[in-house]
Amino acid sequence: MAGGLNFRRGDGRSILLVSRPMDTRSPETPPPPAAVTPMMAQYIEIKAANPDCLLFYRMGDFYEMFFEDAEVASGALGITLTKRGKHAGDDIPMCGVPVHAADQYLQKLIALGYRVAVCEQTEDPAEARKRGGKSVVRRDVVRLVTPGTITEDTLLAPGRNNYLAAVSRQRGAGADGGDGFGLAWIDISTGEFRVAASDAGRFAADLARVAPSEVLVAEPVFADPELNAFWRGLPMAVTPLSPAFFDGATAESRLTGYFAVRTLDGFGAFSRAELSAAAAALAYVEKTQIGERPPLMPPAAEATDGVMLIDAATRANLELTATLSGDRRGSLLAAIDRTATGAGARLLAQRLAGPATDAGEIAGRLDAVAWMLADTGLRHAIREDLAAAPDIARALSRVTLGRGGPRDLAAIRDGLEAATRIAGRIGSGDHPPVIATAAGVLATAPQGLGEALAKALADDLPHLRRDGGFVRDGHHDGLDEARKLRDESRRVIAGLQADYAAETDIRALKIKHNNVLGYFVEVNAAHGERLMKPPLNARFIHRQTMANAVRFTTTALADLEAKIAGAGERALAIELAVFDELAAAVEQATATLRAIADALAILDVAAASAVLAEAEDYCRPVVEESLAFSIAGGRHPVVEQALRHESQSFVANDCALGPEETGDAGHIWLVTGPNMAGKSTFLRQNALIAIMAQIGCYVPARAARIGIVDRLFSRVGAADDLARGRSTFMVEMVETAAILNQAGPRSLVILDEIGRGTATFDGLSIAWAAIEHLHEVNRSRALFATHYHELTALSERLARLRNVTVRVKEWQGDVIFLHEIAAGAADRSYGIQVAKLAGLPASVVERARAVLAQLEETDRKSPVNTLIDDLPLFSAARIAGPAEAVADPVVAMLETIRPDDLSPREALEALYRLKAALREKRGD
């Protein structure tokens, strides 16, 4: 199977095999027998060279698919499956898609995990006819389209990078002596190329941060029993490759050859695993682009300790870029994205994926936001200019790959004009370094290139260069002459049609054109019979009979066609030559254009963050090299915006986890309170505030002081993983284990309801032990929400553990959620009240109340009270369990009344309820 690609796609629960190794091909594409048509023989030959792809075979205005490809594509795309001739005695299945609409079909196939080989005509049909009447136009695959190598605007999300990642493993190269990994990722649509070293402990988190569309891995690594389940569980395409792609011995020479340098020393120092991954990614790009070389930046080594480490589970739990259902709406990214350009949106998403851990870098970003906030008028003008700047990076990539069109050249033209305007608006002066650097880059915009593009390109541009009409009138004398002849000839065609209609007395007579017949006269079938009889048949020469129409030509029409074709071909040839000249000029300015695109993105993110801060009343956080964590009046950025749409306000809360009192480690807040009170929201909002601060964004709070968080861990919510045979509780324990094994003093940990997925005493014991471990071993800043009220007793023995609760208020048997965090502990969970709010039948609610009363009456003391005396660490501690259960319902009701909280009316109503309970007790 050497050289073959076995392409697989994972969806997080299962793996979809979308191709087969070359040595196990289906017998449906055998070598062509002697009787096969030349065209089908060509198709089979090209398909045999690309067995792992669906073959888009160009025939005129359609991409056709045959045999098994047709059956697969028709089902995947929902298009009609037909047949064309016979092969080996059987009908040949066939389906096709129009060339002009191919992108939308490609998008569907790529989203489903398929690879597509695009096969185009590589010679003019006229040349093929010179070889004989049965000669087939030469065709060949011009590119392979895979999830990680697409460049078309219609297939790409403007605000999201489309990364192709390669993973290389090196035995014994990890920091702890385990496996080391090299990770390389490329976005050929923008030219980004980065590499990083990783190890077994953080590799999964690093890959989740990059979030590639396609991952390349050597076949032995993919098949490794220790890693196979991991690859199969990834929510992106995974492509196993021959180990030759990852050959470390030739990796450096492949990289130096691609970038035309003698050594990689100028790019940085790379490990063997990093070089192997980078070389594999490059080789795959060259393979899929059929030798074309995208304008990639040299590989940049990225220090993994320069970004906050966030594992895949935490990213999902916090809904950073997508909700748990996969929607962007409702995510943190959607709530804070105010960018005006696709490049700015991508940069914001990159920062959100990997928040910085360098306080100086973060301060520089915040300075840029503050500068944008200070001058509303200038910020508004800059954002208007940014909105007029198309995506330079992606347009540049398509142009240099030979896939660009007139609109891509126009995008570069407009981007240069916007860059020049913004540089002029910012000017020189005492600006923050980020702003000054970006403005300096924009000032280098090549004026000559912008002027050349502006003079050459027309105002109304076609999508494809082969359509012509994109060069401005007056730009090229020869082009103007050819166009004049072509357009005049077309007016002659219209006159000739009128003459023929009058001569034959057929008003529906039309002169039409297609690529096969050229110009022809078309009438309906009834009139066709008359044109084929004397005397009209002497003038009208029969060409083709259709189901509802008959086509003819004339000597005059054929002569005129030759003149028109010649003029049109000359005009198009001149336009294509102009395009090539402009594309060459653009390619020469690649480095400058890419730097300008990056500068525009940086300014866009700074301006967008200022807009967000002003609109949402966010504050500038203080981010420092310490263990501080103090949030005053913190809010959840997503929930707050959602509540505003419902005309509700968000209740802000403080959070203090820093080591001010203890000096050497952060606090753990144990959060109790009923369901629906807002515990999970409180946990999440503090994690999100830390992330927002470290991406250089203002935060939803009155004030915030945050010591750098190097790793963020979250265990929130409940979900199973049936594909891996994991129950909800097993998933919970796996995620908790990852936290307890990896968190450190600079980490921020949020844990919600640990142990709730199993028996009560088992769960309580696990939660108890987890808190001890966090406090004594991890020493992390942490928020721990629980319904196990027995855990609150740990605050008496754990110096950095604080009890806080979400305040509620009871009113006439119902519970009112105040959403306020206060010191103390909840004395009950109010589960029955919440169940009532959820709409449980009244009979069920009342029965639950009765059962709860019986349980309380029989003694709800936890066996922990007995066990705690046997634990050395807590030998002097006893858990303050609930008060002794009281059988008397009147006494039980009295226990729930807080006189200081009652208004006069509430006190009177409580007295009536007590009298009613007393009568019920007596039976009267």
Residues annotated in a binding site: 673-680
- For residues 546 and 516, what is the distance between their CA atoms, to the nearest angstrom? 14
- For residues 171 and 224, what is the distance between their CA atoms, to the nearest angstrom? 13
- 309-310 sheet: strands from edge to edge: 309-310, 711-715, 748-752, 781-785, 668-672, 801-811, 814-823
Beta bridge partner(s), residue 785: 671, 752
Helix (H) or strand (E) holding 340: none
- For residues 859 and 761, what is the distance between their CA atoms, to the nearest angstrom? 15
C-alpha separations of 543 from 498, 504, 519, 553, 563 in Å: 20, 18, 11, 7, 20
Are 114 and 18 within 8 A, CB to CB? yes
Task: Mention every residue, 6+ apart, whose C-beta is less than 8 A from residue 659.
Answer: 627, 628, 665, 666, 667, 800
Residues in the chain: 924
For 335, the token pair is 């709530």
Evaluate the omega torsion of the peptide bond into residue 535 and state whether it is cis, within 30 degrees of 0: yes
- For residues 341 and 321, what is the distance between their CA atoms, to the nearest angstrom? 17
C-alpha separations of 458 from 393, 400, 480, 481 in Å: 22, 21, 13, 17
Tell me the Cα Rg of the chain. Answer: 35
Rounded to a whole number, what is the distance in angstroms from the first to the last CA of the chain? Answer: 88
For 816, the token pair is 């009112």
* Beta strand segments in 494-621, E: 510-514, 518-524, 541-545, 549-553
- For residues 384 and 464, what is the distance between their CA atoms, to the nearest angstrom? 28
- 192-199 sheet: strands from edge to edge: 15-17, 8-10, 237-241, 214-218, 164-170, 180-187, 192-199, 300-301
C-alpha separations of 454 from 19, 448, 480, 761 in Å: 46, 10, 18, 75
Give the annotated binding-site residues for ATP: 673-680
- For residues 194 and 188, what is the distance between their CA atoms, to the nearest angstrom? 12
For 521, the token pair is 């006269």
Chain mean position to CA 772: 38
Half-sphere exposure of 516 (CA within 13 A, CB side): 6
Backbone angles phi, psi at 340, to 5 degrees: -105, -10
Are 313 and 269 within 8 A, CB to CB? no
Chain mean position to CA 244: 30
Are 353 and 320 within 8 A, CB to CB? yes
Chain mean position to CA 312: 14
State the virtual CA torsion across 639, 644, 646, 648 in degrees, nearest 10.
90
State the virtual CA torsion across 590, 591, 597, 600 in degrees, nearest 10.
-140
DSSP string, 379-399: HHHHHHHHHT---HHHHHHHH
- For residues 332 and 699, what is the distance between their CA atoms, to the nearest angstrom? 12
Task: Mention every residue, 6+ apart, whose C-beta is less than 8 A from residue 761.
Answer: 862, 863, 864
Residue whose token pair is 């009139």 = 527
